[in-house]
Structure 1
Amino acid sequence: MKTTVVAVINQKGGTGKTTTTINLGSALSKLGKKVLLLDLDPQSNLSYSLAVPTDEGNLADAFQENKTLEEVLVEKDGLWIAPGSNELVDIEISLVTQPERESFLKKMLAKTKGFDYVLIDCPPSLSVLTLNALTAANEVLIPLQMEVLTLQGLDQIMNTVEKVKKAFNPKLKIKGIVVVMFDIRRKLSQEVLNYLHENVKERIFSSQIRLNVKLAEAPSFGTSVLDYDGSSNGAKDYKALAQEFLDA
């Protein structure tokens, strides 16, 4: 079984990375795929959103080789999760001085078999941890709000991916851009989307993730929006995205 590793990145916080990682992962799982989610963000929002404990083993333990990646995995709602931890801040600092510091996660994942997809929820910064994710990944997925300032951020992401591709991971490619928190009532949202279509050569998924209160509520119940309210617009949008993602 070939595993596809996808880094979900955006260097800006609050852009829907965690929401997309969880709910795309859940939707892929419900389409019969075996999915592993990695919470690589020291804030551990993904782990919190799925009510997964982080003190019984987490990615920091795996980076320190106190435990294997398999030993920290938790199964929840048809997904496998490698929990995050604020200890990843210390990991980040220690990695800076290590040889081949960009390859730790790649080596870790090379020993992990049996998954169709690994989705990595990256930190909201272009850090050593994010570099590890991009070096380990086959593909990059970019959640993007339709705001003017996100266009500047998109250029930075594209440049970073290109640099990682040249230096560490020649097979890395951008899978596409996911439009998130889309408000069809706002003229600006449509204007930014039109600009993207006219000026960005990368794929922009046609399945847009609309603003939806159920998406915001689901983490309070420790589950994906598909398990919280499968009939909501949020669930419908991520189901559509998952199918488009598989067909891409």
Structure 2
Amino acid sequence: MYVVSVINYKGGVGKTTMTANLGAELANRGMKVLLIDLDPQASLTFSFYEPDDWRDRLRDGRTVKRWYDGLRGDDPAPALGELVVTPGPANAHLKGTGRLDLIASHLQLVDIDLALARGVADGDEYDAELFRVRGSLDQGLHDPALDPYDLVLIDCPPNFNVVTQSAIIASDHLLIPARADYLSTLGIDYLHGNVRELVDRYNADSRRFAKIRRHHKVAPGIAGVVFTMIQLMAQRPIAAHQGYMDQVRALGVPVFATALRENVTLFATNTPRGVPVVLRDRVTAPAVREELRQITTEFLANLQPVGASA
């Protein structure tokens, strides 16, 4: 099972759109895919469930917040497998034997960082607790109920809090959607450096706190940067976008050859819920659907080195 975090410090880059459509296309190709929504905005969750449906069926007991709450010791944490739901409309559009499941988010997940740190002293006790929480999702994903999944895609919040850090530690790869602009370019370099620092610290703490959790080295790779909301001229990115794309390549970070063009329907917040664009037979921009499929093919190719070395 591969675990991939979809991450960017900057919001509004199409991160959730990419997660939903990538997961849907992979499931359409026969894979069993689990999406985990760690963003308190819950945009990924609401792309599959109406807010009223989420409130009535998921809010009180079937979100990832219940699992993170369990880390505090207030109530026993459920196994992650107990929180999985299957969005009906999306799965009805799948071909073959694939499946697309979800662990939903909660709007109060925004408070979890402070809650997890509550009552923890400074010094070694704090470091040990932080290490435990950072490695919690990695441990939780070893739930035997999740063994059938080929891939887990984690939609991370646009920050570097402890919830995001737990996703990074649990991941084999990171996928970075980005717009071709100054802030996105700057953020990618900053994110890359912070990830390296986090991983080095976690691996050092893994030896230091071996009594808490069996030591193992984590080393998430970068699956690549995929540029979104690109404006085209003569089927090529406009010069302003191309310049920023070249700057990211100069950082030494892998960049997907296929970029996702700007499309009002795809990136709108009021699009019909339940079925990602890549699964819809009738879309206003078939070129966008084809780009999503090409990105999926590149994504799978970029994961192969880890599989080959395993």
Query: TM-score normalized by structure 2?
Result: 0.74
Report the 3-state secondary structure (helix = DSSP H, G, I; strand = E; otherwise coil) of the residue aligned with 2:136: helix
Q: Is the 8 A contact 2:36 2:154 kept in 1?
A: yes
Aligned partner of 1:88 among 96, 109, 115: 109
When structure 1 is superposed on structure 2, of 236-245 and 95-104 the one drifting more is 95-104
Q: Counterpart of 1:10 in structure 2: which amino acid? A: N
Q: Which amino acid aligns with 2:246?
A: N
Residue 217 of structure 1 deviates from its aligned partner by 4.7
Aligned-residue identity in percent = 30
1:68 equivalenced with 2:79 (yes/no)? yes
CA distance in 2, matches of 1:230, 1:131: 38
The corresponding residue for 1:51 is 49
| Cα contact 1:18–1:45 (8 A) shared by 2 | yes
Q: Could you tell me whether the CA contact under 8 Å between 1:46 and 1:121 is conserved in 2?
A: yes
Q: How many residues align?
A: 245
Contact 1:36 1:115 in 2 (8 A): yes
Q: 1:108 aligns with which of 111, 115, 140?
A: 140
User: Cα–Cα, structure 1 residues 234 and 51, in superposed 2: closer, same or farther, change >3 Å?
Assistant: farther
Q: Is the 8 A contact 1:123 1:130 kept in 2?
A: yes
The reply to whether residue 137 of structure 1 matches residue 171 of structure 2 is yes
Residue 153 of structure 1 deviates from its aligned partner by 0.6
Q: Is residue 214–residue 234 contact of structure 1 (8 Å, CA) maintained in 2? A: no
Of 86-95 and 99-108, deviating more is: 86-95
Alpha-carbon distance in 1 for matches of 2:12, 2:178: 10
The letter for the 2-side match of 1:144 is A
1:245 to 269, 283, 299: 299
Change (3 A) 1:219 1:238: farther
Distance change in 2, residues 1:22/1:121 (3 Å): same
Would you say the 8 A contact 1:5–1:138 is kept in 2? yes
Match of residue 176 from structure 1: 224
The 10-residue stretch of structure 1 (160-169 or 237-246) with the greater mean CA deviation from structure 2? 160-169
* Residues 44 and 196 of structure 1: CA distance in aligned 2, closer, same or farther (over 3 Å): same
Distance 2:84 2:282 in 1: 25
Q: Separation in 2 of the partners of 1:195 and 1:86?
A: 36
- The answer on whether the counterparts of 2:169 and 2:218 sit within 8 Å (CA) in structure 1 is no
Q: How does the TM-score come out when normalised to structure 1?
A: 0.92
Amino acid paired to 1:91: I
Task: Note the aligned Cα RMSD (angstroms).
Answer: 1.9
Unpaired segments ≥5 residues, structure 1:
none
CA–CA distance in structure 1, aligned partners of residues 243 and 276 of structure 2: 30
Map of 2:289 onto structure 1: 235
Q: For the structure 1 residues 138 and 219, does the alpha-carbon distance in structure 2 shift closer, same or farther, using more than 3 Å as the test?
A: farther
Is this contact kept in 2: 1:218–1:225, CA < 8 A?
A: no
Secondary structure of 2:222's counterpart equals strand
The aligned residue for residue 165 of structure 1 is 199
2:43 corresponds to 1:42 = no
Q: Hey, what's the Cα distance between the residues in 1 that align with 2:262 and 2:182?
A: 17
Shift of 1:42: 0.8
CA apart distance, 1:159: 0.6
1:11-39: per-residue Cα shift (whole Å, max 9, x none)?
A: 11111111111111111111111110000
Conserved? CA contact 1:144–1:177, under 8 Å: yes
Residues 55-76 of structure 1: per-residue CA shift (max 9 Å, x gap): 1510011222353222221112
Equivalent residue of 1:74, what SS? coil
Write the deviation string for residues 71-113 of structure 1: whole angstroms up to 9, x where unpaired: 2211122310000001212322222347112112111111132
> Residue 4 of structure 2: SS of its match in structure 1?
strand
- The offset of 1:238, in angstroms, is 1.2
